[in-house]
Chains A and B, each alone.
Chain A
Amino acid sequence: AQSVTQPDIHITVSEGASLELRCNYSYGATPYLFWYVQSPGQGLQLLLKYFSGDTLVQGIKGFEAEFKRSQSSFNLRKPSVHWSDAAEYFCAGGGFTGGGNKLTFGTGTQLKVEL
């Protein structure tokens, strides 16, 4: 069965520090992978996507993620965290069929930023 795992439920970093959020996937083939961010009371905002090609993808708000097939991972990184980055982050995977793209989400990682 397809699955996405986010091992860290909570992470706390200091403002200005670097960040890495982990995501592992289990799919029969290489899935399409995404990172979404959810601020309290808000919907899910797309940070970045990986479909194919370059394994290092750039997203909005200074985020990037690296696809590593050998580790089945798609970790999200940011070199310097800002207080406004505090939110919940979801990794998701899916594969396009003729009828769309059903996403499978990880359980999310709650990021807290200390000033």
Chain B
Amino acid sequence: EPEVTQTPSHQVTQMGQEVILRCVPISNHLYFYWYRQILGQKVEFLVSFYNNEISEKSEIFDDQFSVERPDGSNFTLKIRSTKLEDSAMYFCASSEMREPQHFGDGTRLSIL
């Protein structure tokens, strides 16, 4: 069964540094998402992406965050200047139109 893959599985970064989290969605899916889960808290929506543009974003997704689909297969989340509070598990998901989202295994981001 096709799956969403995320790399790296764990990223350790110094505060203030830029980080890029990578995702390869399922190949025929059209909708792409990022969520995050701070340790001990609920999974929170960050952003959805469709037709090469952001379709919706949450209050969390401020100017420090950006997403990109640089080619036909990758979907990236960039955090420009990381803060301690950005430490979390970040999940990528993808879906077809009006179908459930399929999630990757996540990238654990640790900010030191």
Does A106 contact B42, Cβ atoms closer than 8 Å?
Answer: yes
Count B-side interface residues using an 8 Å CB cutoff.
Answer: 28
Known: A98-B55, A102-B48. A108 touches B42 (CB 8 A): yes
Known: A43-B106, A102-B45. A96 touches B98 (CB 8 A): yes
A46 vs B104: C-alpha distance when bound (angstroms) = 11
| A43 partner, pick from B4, B50, B100, beta carbons under 8 A | B4
B33 at interface by CB-CB < 8 Å: yes
B101 to chain A, nearest CB (A): 7
Known: A43-B91, A97-B55. A104 touches B45 (CB 8 A): yes
A25 vs B6: C-alpha distance when bound (angstroms) = 30
Does B33 contact A100, Cβ atoms closer than 8 Å?
Answer: yes
B102 at interface by CB-CB < 8 Å: yes
User: Nearest chain-A residue to B106 (Cβ)?
Assistant: A43
A96-112 toward B: CB 8 Å interface, digit per residue (1/0)? 11111111111110000
Does B42 contact A105, Cβ atoms closer than 8 Å?
Answer: yes
Going nearest first, the 3 A-B pairs with the smallest beta carbon separation are A99-B55, A100-B48, A44-B103
Q: Chain B interface (Cβ within 8 Å of chain A)?
A: 4, 6, 31, 33, 35, 41-45, 48-50, 55-56, 58, 91, 93, 95, 97-98, 100-106
Q: Chain A interface (Cβ within 8 Å of chain B)?
A: 34, 36, 41-46, 49, 51, 90, 92, 96-108
